[in-house]
Amino acid sequence: QSALTQPASVSGSPGQSITISCTGTNSDVGGYNYVSWYQQHPGKAPKLLIYDVSNRPSGVSSRFSGSKSGNTASLIISGLQAEDEADYHCCSYTSSATLVFGGGTKLTVL
């Protein structure tokens, strides 16, 4: 199972919106509505941000949202804040009854 494809890095200024893409195949992202996104600050454990493509767990800011079109899922962060600077990982359930992650995207807040 190949890793999902994410951009290595994205950047934005405070207050702006950014989008991180996550591209897979019909056997993972495109085949199921089980895409999740995780935020990871340096030296810390990942934290669940979005599940089932577009749902937010309790306590996660509404500035974070998710969507999917075909084989590509997207994480949108609006009103960028300095504390959003972190690595972001997408993940999908697969037809092989496994999970597959993307390579991770480093977000820099300028």
Partner 1 sequence: QVQLEESGGGVVQPGGSLRLSCAASGFNLTNYGIHWVRQAPGRGLEWVTFIRYDGTNRYYAESVKGRFTISRDTSKNTVYLQMNSLRAEDTAVYYCGKGPRITIFGVRIDNWGQGTLVTVSS
The contact set with partner 1 (CB under 8 A) reads: 1, 3, 32, 34, 36, 38, 44-48, 51-52, 57, 89, 91, 93, 97-104
Nearer to partner 1 among residue 45 and residue 82 (C-beta): 45
Q: At its nearest, how many Å lie between partner 1 and the CB of residue 81?
A: 22
Distance CA 46, CA 66 (A): 17
Q: At its nearest, how many Å lie between partner 1 and the CB of residue 14?
A: 26
Q: At its nearest, how many Å lie between partner 1 and the CB of residue 92?
A: 9
Q: Name the amino acid, one letter, at 31.
A: G
Distance CA 17, CA 79 (A): 6
Nearer to partner 1 among residue 3 and residue 110 (C-beta): 3
Nearer to partner 1 among residue 80 and residue 93 (C-beta): 93
Nearer to partner 1 among residue 13 and residue 52 (C-beta): 52
Helix (H) or strand (E) segment spanning residue 75: strand 72-77
Helix (H) or strand (E) segment spanning residue 52: none
Instruction: Give residue for tokens 């820099």.
Output: 108
Alpha helix positions (H), 4-75: none
